Amino acid sequence: MSTLNTLDWLVIGIYFALLLGVVIVATRHQNTSTDYFLAGRNVGFFAIGASIFASNIGSEHIVGLAGQGASTGMAMAHYELHAWIVVLLAWVFVPFYYQSKVLTMPEFLEKRFGPRPRWILSIVSLAAYVLTKVSVTVYAGALVFQTLLPDTFGSPENAFWVGAIATVVLTGLYTVAGGFRAVLFTDTAQAFVLIIGSAAITYFGLERLGGWGELRTFASENVAQYALWRPLSDPDFPWLGILIASPIVGIWYWCTDQYIVQRTLAAKDLKSARRGALWGAFLKVWPVLFFLIPGLIGAALNSKGLLVLATNAEGAMIGDQVFPTMVASLLPAGLRGLVVAGIMAAFMSSLSSLFNSAAALFTIDIYDKLRPGATEQRLVTVGRLATGVIVVLGLLWIPIMPLISKGGLYQYLQNVQGYLAPPITAVFLLGLFNDRINNRGAVWGLGLGFGLGMLKLTIQAIFGAGKIDTPSFLAAIGDFNFLYFSGVLFLICSAIIVAMSYTSAGPDRDQIRGLTYSSIDRELVRASWDRKDVIATGVVLGLVATMYIYFSFWI
């Protein structure tokens, strides 16, 4: 049985027909690796900003963030108010990246430190794609199929895997064919489909609930569960842990990860790169309202008996099924099809961005180093093959995900990112703002930091409450709050980087020219911005501050 009718399927079909037309146009002029991975470096700011937003807001946000809103309220809103960090990308990081003319973030590290940090970051980034982006995005999209088409393929479990594999294959085909140009073009359209679809859920949900006042009343009756700031005694989201971990993960994700930064590298000039990041920052302000609040609305409707949400064997609400259940129950025919198309758009935009970024990392930072002198056509072919391998590994990881975090899809995502981010954030920040940091410090910081993060992830999957509780010290490590661990790991990595750098010779001054704050071409940077950029920055920061102030006291 399907919850979608003929009109819904017609809307979905029209959407994908238009998408196919965009991809066909984008497949032209894919002759070199720069064309394939950076769209020829000739992209305007509007497409860059929309792609930054759409790549970030995937199905894991629509499904996982709504589920988190239903189960933990505003606790995860801090990660969705990272527009201020995207502003940092625009003003602090983009000038270094764009002037260096690199294709990837590991390539930037090689220019700053040498070849070994490039190798480490390439491997860590590819592992991160498997552990977070591929597996989480596929899992979230498959949950939508499981909820909306439970019996279409024989059983909900079959619907889950058919949906996962089918959409991955379709996304892989258009990404492989069209390269980064196809990713950018489709992302621009999908960004607005995502907003329209999620805004519709918010509107119809509030209409059935009785308005914003009813939602505030429901949240105020459950302050401990739904508040933005939690006490230090909170086992999952203590406010101090949030303040420590959220910026560390945010700087890694928004300012140093190939997945996001690749969009700014495709700009036609530095001004477009900065304005693209600022436009992306403006769009990033709104996910709290469009993706997290619907989860709260779903929980409120469920408490009033106006919406029936799925529960697990213990009778607890399954947060990750809240959004697709609301789609099926609240929206009229046609609009329901548009929202499903929006969810699939989110799924596919995130995957397409991931596929191209992963292919760029493997091809440019690994294959080209092992096989120097490969033809441009060969590099493009290898990039396409690398995409397939990453997807298969991500699918294989899906069954392991529930072992790491039982707090929902989005909490799983922040767990893993909290263990991957600290060493990378430390190396980039120290490398840009301290000329004395050298190759030895970067190698030790990245290598040891990644090892410690993966050790914590492994222990957490096996030991702790509800798992193996002996020996007690391993159980304690497994249960140690992921937010505090991010901060501890960041401090350890920073100390190692500084210690190893200052106990060995400093880098050659000519080698790091233009790659550190003290040596960048300030005149060129100053010529790339004007009053419009300053005003845009003020608007974004003002909106973020307004969100924080309102939701700190709304209940």
Among 168-177, 257-266, 290-299, 346-355, name the one with the lowest average pLDDT.
168-177
Smallest CA-to-CA distance from 342 within 26, 8, 2, 1 is with 8
Are the C-beta atoms of 392 and 463 separated by less than 8 Å? Answer: no
Q: Is 128 left (phi over 0), alpha (psi -120 to 50) or beta?
A: alpha
For 370-408, the pLDDT digits (tens) are: 888 777 778 777 877 877 787 777 777 777 766 655 566
| Residue 228, both tokens | 């933005």
List, in sequence order, the alpha helices (H) in 210-308: 212-220, 223-226, 239-251, 258-265, 270-284, 287, 293-303
Question: What is the rounded (10 degree) CA torsion for 320, 343, 256, 282?
Answer: -110
Highest mean pLDDT of the ranges 15-29, 239-253, 365-379, 506-520: 239-253
Instruction: State the CB neighbour count (10 A cutoff) for residue 506.
Output: 12
pTM, two decimals, is: 0.88
For 149-187, the pLDDT digits (tens) are: 777 777 888 888 887 777 777 776 666 655 556 666 666
Tell me the CA end-to-end span of the chain in Å, nearest whole number.
41
Over range 134-144, report the average pLDDT. 76
Q: What is the pLDDT of residue 1?
A: 44
Burial of 38 (0-12, 13-18, 19+ CB in 10 A): buried
3-state secondary structure 27-86: CCCCCCHHHHHHHHHCECHHHHHHHHHHHHCCHHHHHHHHHHHHHHCCCCHHHHCCHHHH
Task: Supply the CATH classification number for the domain 6-400.
Answer: 1.20.1730.10
Q: What is the pLDDT of residue 293?
A: 93
Query: When comparing pLDDT for 455 and 103, which is higher?
Result: 455
Question: Cis omega (within 30 of 0) on the bond before 423?
Answer: no
Find all residues with CB under 8 Å of 273, minimum gap 6, and list them: 45, 48, 94, 97, 98, 264, 265, 267
For 235-268, the pLDDT digits (tens) are: 889 999 999 999 999 999 999 998 899 889 888 8
pLDDT at residue 200 greater than cutoff 90: no
Highest mean pLDDT of the ranges 63-67, 490-494, 509-513: 490-494
| Residue 477, both tokens | 């490590």
pLDDT over 90, % of the chain: 44
Cα separation, 86 vs 250, whole angstroms: 9
What are the residue ranges spanned by the domains of the chain?
6-400
For 86-124, the pLDDT digits (tens) are: 999 999 999 999 888 888 899 999 999 999 999 999 888
Q: What is the pLDDT of residue 108?
A: 95
